[in-house]
Structure 1
Amino acid sequence: MGHLITLATSLNQWALDFQGNCDRILQSISIAKSRGATLRVGPELEIPGYGCLDHFLEGDTVLHSWEVLAKILGSEEVEGVVCDIGMPIIHKNVNYNCRVIIYNKEILLIRPKMWMANDGNYRELRYFTPWTRHRQWEDHYLPRIIQAVTGQTKVPFGDAVISTLDTCIGVELCEELFTPASPHILMGLDGVEIFTNSSGSHHELRKLHRRIDLIKEATQKLGGVYLYANQQGCDGDRLYYDGCAMIAVNGDIIAQGSQFSLNDVEVVTATIDIEDVRAHRIRSSRNMQAASTERYHRIEVGFPLSSGKFREVQDVFEEGLEVRFKIRYHTPEEEIKLGPACWLWDYLRRSRTQGYFLPLSGGIDSCATAVIVYSMCNLVAEAANRGDKQVIADARRIAGEPSDSSYIPSNPREFAGRVFHTCYMGTENSSAETRWRAKELAGAIGSYHVDMNIDTVVRSIHDLFTFVTGFTPRFRVHGGSDRENLALQNIQARLRMVTSYLFAQLLPWVRGRDGGLLVLGSANVDESLRGYLTKYDCSSADLNPIGAVSKVDLRKFIIHSREYFDLPILESFVNAIPTAELEPITETYVQGDEVDMGMTYDELSVLGRLRKIEKCGPYSMFTKLVREWGSVFSPIQIAEKVKLFYFEYARNRHKMTTITPSYHAENYSPDDNRFDLRPFLYPARFPWQFKKIDQVAAALPDRSRKGPGQDKTKTE
């Protein structure tokens, strides 16, 4: 019974943190060796961090990456284990995203990435050039700092594989798994038995299923061992890399790491029998294809990955190989609970600030943001109770404890009271219900809460305008125009932002502590998409944990959190009607978000997905919705909804240029910051497109269940 010990690692790397990244890489190698591993794989671009962005264009980033690699090569930790390490390399004056395969202080191969991620959040072609010479290689001359360590002058650079005494290893990088003709197919047909994949794959709700399906499929028909390593944590931007390192054999996942964790280093190992791969591949059709495939250059090395010693079946059984592994998935509600919470913790500890400040309005959006921060505190408490030294050290520093303190953040409510600050900023238009909900929620999660009114500040701005102009603006319910009504709402919203930053800077001082707080925003993805927010209001903040989460998913998250965290107060938020509370409440009028927007949140989610994911313009969106919504709305009603959406989207698009950096969770986010690259000055009435929609809508039959002019049921 031959065997290999293989592993994948998830590292919480940080862009440009070369010292920290180096320490975490060496720690992961040490853990791997302690478990008897002979092959260690790390995440993509792990030496500089994946999120360096335009810093990849700087020579310093490449230089420091070589310096770190020299330190790793010179370490005793790398002896006796093959290490697959990621960094940028300039070859013949061309910048490549590479894997460097090392063994016993020598470089065996530099394998450049061949297919780049260049859509959505990724712009790899901005920084790197793909290696297009498939199955070809050439010499790369090493810098002197590496020559001094390895004694090598040049090493193979290109699309090749490593042939050990007992197996063959091939490299695949992140996006290459997602391409239609993935390299592992041809490598596997040419006898490669172990595939490594080093990724920088970000978290999106419901995305893990796709990733796991691709990893399983990679070896299901082909046969082989697949080692998947992914970065975990906030690398310095909007994305959270959700780890979940995996090892698959012949289409089955046999080991899986955590998807959300506060760990800086996590190593996943499994023991496999390479003979299982060979038995799986003995099929006539596979062999016919393999016999005619093109050959890869093999870099032959004189060592095995397996020890060659026979192991008892019982030993393997105890390691779990004979028991079918059960893949762990999180529900979307759990993903919202965990992903943004881990992201917030990384941001808080790395920004070296003293906590978060949140304007708590009593509505479901700020409620969801508060619960996510409480989830962060809960994760910190769980890690501290497990004895995680790094989490405890970070928590002590953030909480203002001295370095020699014995403080342990073992209780999430107590820790929240130290690092989380909430504030209800009411006006004469606020209701007693929202004030009560905010106060009760703050008490339930333990945040340091401030309850106040800002009417005097609002009136001072109002009186200033009247003094200067001689005109007194009034709300619509008091006889004012729509322009006056909107301006008076915006005064309140923008003053809340100014007040938030004042309190965020000075509350720690009030409490006898140093430093300041980061302000959290709480505008959801649908409101941003529709532009239903005031520019530079309290949606303007330092960070927004829910900026790419839909209202529909937020409601499900709150329902889940009520039970999970035992917070009965959350029930009142779920049942509350969404309202901005910026207009006076009368006997006949209460402001409602969905009425103001002219569409429901359910409808907004559908419109957003069609716009971004299915790449619909106004006319194609209308034609799709006629089929999807035709039994609920008439063609003319659908036309009006589409036209209203695009009109409001276009005239509010400029707000996205200043939107708060948001945790990325949905791939229909309108975030203008690198993800949604669309103009912000539009012909907002789309005269050509809307005219065509009107013409077609008027000619189509009405298939809705209710006649024209009647109220329609909301669509999902």
Structure 2
Amino acid sequence: MGHLITVATSLNQWALDFDGNFERIIESIRIAKERGATLRVGPELEITGYGCLDHFLEGDTVLHSWEVLCKVLLSPFCTDIVCDVGMPIIHKNVTYNCRVIIHNRKILLIRPKMWLANDGNYRELRFFTPWAKHRQWEDHYLPRIVQAVTGQTKVPFGDAVISTADTCIGVELCEELFTPASPHILMGLDGVEIFTNSSGSHHELRKLHTRVDLIKEATLKLGGIYLYANQQGCDGDRLYYDGSALIALNGRIIAQGSQFSLSDVEVVSATIDIEDVRAHRARSSRSMQAASAERYHRIEVAMALSDGQMGKVIDSQAIRRFEVSYHTPEEEIALGPACWLWDYLRRSRTQGFFLPLSGGIDSCATAVIVYSMCRLVVEAASRGDDQVIADARRIAGETDGSTYVPSDPKEFANRVFHTSYMGTENSSSETRSRAKQLSQDIGSYHVDLNMDTVVSSVRNLFGLVTGVKPQFRVHGGSSAENLALQNIQARLRMVLAYLFAQLLPWARGKTGGLLVLGSANVDESLRGYLTKYDCSSADVNPIGGISKTDLKKFILYARDAFSLPILDSFINAVPTAELEPITDTYVQADEADMGMTYDELSTFGRLRKVEKCGPYSMFTKLVHEWGTFLSPTQIAEKVKLFFFEYARNRHKMTTLTPSYHAESYSPDDNRFDLRPFLYPSRFPFQFAKIDATVPGLPDRSNTPPEQDRSSKAKADQ
């Protein structure tokens, strides 16, 4: 029996950080060799970082990749181990996303990606060309700087496999696992026993199950060992790559890395008997298909991945008992955005965060996520993570030679997290009290202020210039006056937020500035229920891709997990912007203002983006989903109201604060949701078709006619 040690690696790479990326690659190889591994796999485009975007079009990016690869080849850690490394390569004046397989200072194979990710968050066809010559290869002439290191003039480039003395290795790249006709099928039928997959897969809530199922399915019928390496961390953009490196054997996951971590390098390893693969494949039907399979070119390497000795021990019981770890969505919200914020904070070299804390659930959730980040920093420091400790000292303003180690989340939060309640005459004592109590419970440095004098100054200036002074609706003003007065408050909060973010460290006797955090959720952005350039305009927004429904569940989770009983008061409060005067008969409420509930918005968002529905198809779907409690007329009015508000507010998405991507229906048009921002907002053709369809549909809701009319009247307001 030949025993193999195989590894999959998660690295926290950073776009264009060539020195840092090199150091993390070498550290992962060192750890792998220390564990006796003979095969090491890294994440996609690990030398450059995955998120270089249009920098992949620059010749410098490819040149520097070759320079870093030379350093990897020359490293003493890279001997007697097969390493699978990712970088962009120009072959015959065409740029490809490639894996470079190296061994003992030689390049064995350059394997270009054949199926590119080109939807959602990905635009790989903008930078790369897919390799269309399947099961074909040709010579690639190496740059002279590489020839000087390897002694090779040319190497194989294309769709081939690696043959060692004891097994055969094939390469898949990220998206190729997700395609219907994945390369591992034909490679496996031609005798490939180990499949490597180097990925740059981002986090979305509830997404990990899909990835795990695909990896298990890849070897369940086929048999084989599947090594999945994924990037982990913020690569420099809205995405958080959520690690969870995996090793599968014959349809079972036998090893898994962390999904969320502050560590820069994580190596996942397993010891596997290759004979288990061969036994799994001993089926007549599989053998019949394999006997007629087209062959792959094999590149031979004079080494064995196994040592041929019986000294190594496989814990078969542990392999059989292994269960994949999944976080709940609430845990994902607590961990993913927190890790993303930490990467953003330490790499931007700022001194902390500033958050306008309104006393509402959205800014509350943002604050709790920052507190979760502080908890993760303390946990990593307690484990002796030198990189986290060094970053924490620098961010906290400790001088060189300091022995400070963060040991209490509240104490660390007081150093790096600043909050402010910006009240007006329209604010309630309840929201002010909630904000102050939350800041005390999580340890943030809190400022409580009234901004009425600033608001009055702007309002009086307008009156001085025009001779008329705007009034709120409750004081007899028009809708235009009412909206303008609300927007004045919201936009001034943004101005004050940046003022305090720049000067609060100075006021505390420190240097540097703070990153301003936004706190508009994905549903409000979708509906456009926010003021352009208000306090939702910030540097980054950790909750901008999370629904209000999920945020409420997260707050309930954090109440117990983080021992924050104050969060009960946020859950029970009615969501309100507090931008209009409170009277005995009127209190502003978000859902009433929007004309739809947050749960309805989540449904609209899913149908619009994920299921690709226009107004008419959304209506027909909702007739079936909501038909038992709403009449066709009510559903039609809700759909038309949503699309009208979505269309006329779409321009706000062009200036949306860069947000952590967590939801599949995010309306962020800068990356994920490419749609126009000038619409025929009444959708006359589409709405007319809905109206023509409604009379022919049965009403299954048993809704009284007067209730139906009142609902329509509300929707028309």
Cα-to-partner distance string for 1:440-484 (whole Å, 9 max, x where unaligned): 000000000000000000000000000100111111111111111
What is the deviation of 1:207? 0.2
Map of 1:132 onto structure 2: 132
Q: Is 2:28 the counterpart of 1:28?
A: yes
Instruction: Indicate how the Cα distance of structure 1 residues 415 and 147 shifts in structure 2: closer, same or farther if over 3 A, else same.
Output: same
Instruction: Indicate how the Cα distance of structure 1 residues 713 and 275 shifts in structure 2: closer, same or farther if over 3 A, else same.
Output: farther
Q: Which shows bigger deviation, 538-547 or 470-479?
A: 470-479
Instruction: Indicate how the Cα distance of structure 1 residues 375 and 320 shifts in structure 2: closer, same or farther if over 3 A, else same.
Output: farther
Q: Is 2:178 the counterpart of 1:181?
A: no
Letter in 1 for 2:636: A
Residues in 2 aligned to 1:668 and 1:544: alpha-carbon distance in whole angstroms: 16
Answer whether contact 1:271 1:321 (CA < 8 A) is retained.
no
Answer whether contact 2:50 2:235 (CA < 8 A) is retained.
yes
Residues in 1 aligned to 2:96 and 2:445: alpha-carbon distance in whole angstroms: 49
Map of 2:562 onto structure 1: 565
Residues in 1 aligned to 2:314 and 2:102: alpha-carbon distance in whole angstroms: 31
Answer whether contact 2:28 2:265 (CA < 8 A) is retained.
yes
Runs of 4+ in 1 over 4 A off after TM superposition: 317-323, 711-714
Residues in 1 aligned to 2:284 and 2:407: alpha-carbon distance in whole angstroms: 60
SS at match of 2:126: helix
Answer whether contact 1:12 1:233 (CA < 8 A) is retained.
yes
Answer whether contact 2:422 2:449 (CA < 8 A) is retained.
yes
Map of 1:552 onto structure 2: 549
What is the deviation of 1:370? 0.1
What is the deviation of 1:707? 1.9
Cα-to-partner distance string for 1:558-593 (whole Å, 9 max, x where unaligned): 000000000000000001100000000000000000
Map of 1:303 onto structure 2: 303
Letter in 2 for 1:181: A
Letter in 2 for 1:506: L
Residues in 2 aligned to 1:319 and 1:430: alpha-carbon distance in whole angstroms: 63
SS at match of 1:423: strand
Letter in 1 for 2:208: L
Answer whether contact 2:381 2:407 (CA < 8 A) is retained.
yes
SS at match of 2:456: helix
Residues in 1 aligned to 2:212 and 2:27: alpha-carbon distance in whole angstroms: 27
What is the deviation of 1:701? 1.8
Letter in 2 for 1:521: G
Q: Is 2:443 the counterpart of 1:455?
A: no
Map of 1:88 onto structure 2: 88
Residues in 2 aligned to 1:255 and 1:620: alpha-carbon distance in whole angstroms: 43
What is the deviation of 1:710? 2.2
Residues in 1 aligned to 2:60 and 2:710: alpha-carbon distance in whole angstroms: 59
Residues in 2 aligned to 1:592 and 1:709: alpha-carbon distance in whole angstroms: 24
Residues in 2 aligned to 1:106 and 1:274: alpha-carbon distance in whole angstroms: 25
What is the deviation of 1:53? 0.2
Residues in 2 aligned to 1:143 and 1:299: alpha-carbon distance in whole angstroms: 21
Residues in 2 aligned to 1:649 and 1:364: alpha-carbon distance in whole angstroms: 23
Q: Is 2:482 the counterpart of 1:492?
A: no
Letter in 1 for 2:532: K
Residues in 1 aligned to 2:593 and 2:523: alpha-carbon distance in whole angstroms: 14
- How many residues align? The count is 711
What is the deviation of 1:382? 0.2
What is the deviation of 1:713? 14
Q: Is 2:648 the counterpart of 1:651?
A: yes
Residues in 2 aligned to 1:588 and 1:711: alpha-carbon distance in whole angstroms: 25
> How large is the Cα RMSD of the aligned pairs?
1.1
Map of 1:192 onto structure 2: 192
SS at match of 2:321: coil
SS at match of 1:677: coil
Residues in 2 aligned to 1:212 and 1:22: alpha-carbon distance in whole angstroms: 28
1:338-417 to 2 correspondences below 5 Å = 338-417=335-414
1:626-705 to 2 correspondences below 5 Å = 626-705=623-702
Map of 2:714 onto structure 1: none
Cα-to-partner distance string for 1:391-418 (whole Å, 9 max, x where unaligned): 0000000000012101011110000000
Cα-to-partner distance string for 1:471-500 (whole Å, 9 max, x where unaligned): 111111111111110000000000000000
Q: Is 2:69 the counterpart of 1:72?
A: no
Map of 1:234 onto structure 2: 234
Answer whether contact 1:521 1:539 (CA < 8 A) is retained.
yes
The percent of aligned pairs where both chains have the same amino acid is: 80
Q: Which shows bigger deviation, 323-332 or 355-364?
A: 323-332
Map of 1:220 onto structure 2: 220
Answer whether contact 1:639 1:694 (CA < 8 A) is retained.
yes
Map of 2:715 onto structure 1: none
Answer whether contact 2:272 2:314 (CA < 8 A) is retained.
no
Map of 1:599 onto structure 2: 596
Residues in 1 aligned to 2:319 and 2:601: alpha-carbon distance in whole angstroms: 48
Residues in 1 aligned to 2:625 and 2:705: alpha-carbon distance in whole angstroms: 18
Letter in 2 for 1:153: T
Q: Is 2:533 the counterpart of 1:529?
A: no
Map of 1:152 onto structure 2: 152
Residues in 1 aligned to 2:391 and 2:43: alpha-carbon distance in whole angstroms: 24
Normalised by the length of structure 2, the TM-score is 0.98
Residues in 2 aligned to 1:349 and 1:671: alpha-carbon distance in whole angstroms: 25
Answer whether contact 1:355 1:419 (CA < 8 A) is retained.
yes
Letter in 2 for 1:489: Q
Answer whether contact 2:364 2:570 (CA < 8 A) is retained.
yes
Q: Is 2:204 the counterpart of 1:204?
A: yes
Residues in 1 aligned to 2:80 and 2:302: alpha-carbon distance in whole angstroms: 12
SS at match of 1:709: helix
Residues in 2 aligned to 1:56 and 1:200: alpha-carbon distance in whole angstroms: 15
Answer whether contact 1:633 1:712 (CA < 8 A) is retained.
no
1:43-122 to 2 correspondences below 5 Å = 43-122=43-122
Q: Which ranges of structure 1 fall in alignment gaps of 5 or more residues? A: none
Residues in 1 aligned to 2:704 and 2:286: alpha-carbon distance in whole angstroms: 60
Q: Which ranges of structure 2 fall in alignment gaps of 5 or more residues? A: 712-717
Answer whether contact 2:21 2:48 (CA < 8 A) is retained.
yes
Answer whether contact 1:353 1:398 (CA < 8 A) is retained.
yes
SS at match of 2:707: coil
Answer whether contact 1:272 1:321 (CA < 8 A) is retained.
no
Answer whether contact 2:96 2:128 (CA < 8 A) is retained.
yes
Letter in 1 for 2:191: G
Residues in 2 aligned to 1:116 and 1:627: alpha-carbon distance in whole angstroms: 36
Answer whether contact 2:631 2:708 (CA < 8 A) is retained.
no
